[in-house]
Amino acid sequence: MSEELIRLTATEAAARLQRREVSPLDLVEAAAARIAAVEPALNALPTLCLDRARDHARRLMRGEGREAAGDPGWLGGLPVTIKDLTDVAGVRTTYGSPLFRDHVPARSHPLVERIERLGGIVIAKSNTPEFGAGGSTFNEVFGRTRNPWNTALTCGGSTGGGAVSVATGEAWLAHGSDHAGSLRRPGTYCSVVGLRPSPGRVTRGTPNNLFSPLSVQGPMARCVADVALFLDTMAGWDPLDPLTHDAPAVPYARAVAEAERHKPRRVAFSADFGGALPVDRETREICAREVRRFEELGCAVEEFAPDLGDLQEAFLVLRSQHFVVDREQQLRDHRELLKPDIVWNTERGLRETPSRLAWAERERAAWCRRMAAMFAEFDVFVTPGAATPAFDVMLRHPESVGGARLENYMAASMLNAAITVAGCPAAAVPCGFDRHGRPVGLQIAAPPRRDERALAAAALFEGLTGLDKLLPVEPRAGVVPAVE
């Protein structure tokens, strides 16, 4: 029965829970068995809380904690994983940092409280780079997380553990966060769906960067319908987060079920923003070919991208201020315990001048205006989900992309970061595999607060490829392909 249950989609499993054909405890035990089987090869879920999950399952089965039953996003006892940047009451939460190696929070993050109130059962914390900084998931506390399609490769970052957990059937849904692609790149590398919601769609709880739209919380799953279901679980106003707003009148799961009504008329596609960004050659070719699948739906697909201008530099300036707010005191007191990426980001931010910050804000505003002009003509904007396929798991970041050496670890993230800066929702959806068997995906972006449009387009595309049917995947050993 466990084998059958882990192959259910989250939507199917939630429906079976609703009909009482299976119990929450059945699903917790199925997840536990799957974790025991595959985790030794992957290291995706270093902290388990199965007894806590079983207690929650039994409460639901007694009829307790079901006040939200019937609300959009009700999960009914479905096991989920929570990224190890996010507090779960009574569960070790390290943020991937030696500074918090033994940290056990007394209270859960507001988003975790919401997920549990809507019937999600937390079974594990998923691995992440230290404080979420990095394009490959590893840290000094738990080590490296490996890609299930080829365990010699990275799963991406920073929601790498979450991506692996849903790709392999360890859980049906994974929570994550995204600043410069941390839901979208792991989704692409692991051939699952990762959604960066619009800022304000999902509460971030109480971060010190409370008024910045760069970092968001969001869902990950094996298919678009499941991501929409989990977004319904997460979405809504939170008095602790002033950027949040009410959940939509039409649930996202319904918008995806009725995706044909939201079908894009015109699709803009760019593989590399007119050559402005380095992208792996085969990735460009695969994405340029697969985006044409939209034409099978009657959509017009056209090559177009707004001018990036100096956005890459502006993004680094803006991002560095996030690190100053979050890490300045830790840099002062514990510099030797912080990974080089965090030191680099924070020290860069401390060197910026007010004039440079003002310049970056003007660049951000100009970029948002150019994106708005594009969306006045096109319904969605599509790019590769990542600039390069999964790379050696032992590397912090790819050393080069498309033959161009990278100046810093963020240089491979600008396909995603450009969407971040514009405040747009974006879904990463699988589109195929390269000749080495590494997953490749598309990033489908929509205008701000039009999350349903990005999800519907992703669902229509997914229906053409059928790649979600390949999951869950068994971990596969492999080798690192030679760099061309």
pLDDT at 66 over 80: yes
Give the list of residues 6+ apart from residue 228 with CB closer than 8 angstroms, or none: 251, 252, 253, 255, 256, 455, 459
Read off the pLDDT band of 1 (50, 70, 90): confident
Q: pLDDT tens across 205-247, in order?
A: 988 999 999 999 999 999 999 999 999 999 999 999 999 999 9
Q: What pLDDT, on a 0 to 100 scale, did the predictor assign at position 167?
A: 99
Question: Across 345-438, where does the E strand assignment appear?
Answer: 380-384, 400-401, 404-405, 426-433
**Cβ contact 157:145 at 8 Å:** no
Pick from 229, 154, 199: nearest CA to 163: 154
79-97: average pLDDT: 98
The three-class DSSP label of residue 267 is strand
pLDDT at 483 over 90: no
267-271: average pLDDT: 98
Read off the pLDDT band of 406 (50, 70, 90): confident
pTM of the model: 0.98
pLDDT at 409 over 80: no
pLDDT above 70 covers what percent of the chain? 100
Q: pLDDT tens across 416-460, in order?
A: 999 999 999 999 999 999 999 999 999 999 999 999 999 999 999
| Tokens, residue 206 | 């109480």
Pairing of strands 426-433, 193-196: antiparallel
The three-class DSSP label of residue 30 is helix
Show the DSSP H helices in 151-301 as ranges: 160-167, 184-190, 224-234, 252-257, 281-290
Whether 158 is catalytic: yes
Q: pLDDT tens across 348-359, in order?
A: 999 999 999 999
Q: How many residues does the chain have?
A: 484
Please state, rounded to an integer, the average pLDDT across all residues of the chain: 97
Catalytic residue among 182, 215, 270, 320: 182
3-15: average pLDDT: 97
Q: What pLDDT, on a 0 to 100 scale, did the predictor assign at position 382?
A: 99
pLDDT at 134 over 80: yes
Residue 211 C-alpha from the chain's centroid: 21
Domains and CATH numbers, the chain: 2-470 (3.90.1300.10)
Which helix or strand (DSSP H or E) is residue 325 part of?
Answer: helix 311-334
Catalytic residue among 136, 158, 165, 413: 158
Distance CA(98)–CA(96), nearest Å, equals 7
**Cβ contact 232:455 at 8 Å:** no
Q: What pLDDT, on a 0 to 100 scale, did the predictor assign at position 326?
A: 95
Pick from 278, 305, 284, 282: nearest CA to 408: 278
pLDDT at 410 over 90: no
Distance CA(419)–CA(380), nearest Å, equals 12
Task: Please report, for residues 175, 261, 475, the alpha-carbon distance to residue 194 in angstroms, rounded to integers and kept in the order given.
Answer: 10, 22, 20
Whether 83 is catalytic: yes
The DSSP line for 54-114 is HHHHHHHHTTTT-TTTTSTT--SSEEEEEETTS--TTS---TT-GGGTT---SS--HHHHH
Report DSSP state, residue 449.
T
Q: What pLDDT, on a 0 to 100 scale, did the predictor assign at position 119?
A: 98
Which helix or strand (DSSP H or E) is residue 6 part of?
Answer: helix 2-6
Catalytic residue among 83, 108, 126, 165: 83
Q: What pLDDT, on a 0 to 100 scale, did the predictor assign at position 59?
A: 98
Distance CA(414)–CA(314), nearest Å, equals 11
Whether 97 is catalytic: no
Q: What is the 3-state secondary structure (H, E, C) of 398-424?
A: CCEECCEECCCCCHHHHHHHHHHHCCC
Pairing of strands 404-405, 400-401: antiparallel
- Worst-scoring range by mean pLDDT, 395-399, 433-437, 472-476? 395-399
Q: What pLDDT, on a 0 to 100 scale, did the predictor assign at position 109?
A: 98
Q: Does the CA dihedral 194-73-217-77 come out positive or negative?
A: negative
Task: Please report, for residues 139, 414, 421, 423, the alpha-carbon distance to residue 369 in angstroms, rounded to integers and kept in the order given.
Answer: 38, 18, 11, 11
pLDDT at 484 over 80: no
278-288: average pLDDT: 97
Q: pLDDT tens across 334-344, in order?
A: 999 999 999 99
Q: pLDDT tens across 191-212, in order?
A: 999 999 999 999 999 889 999 9
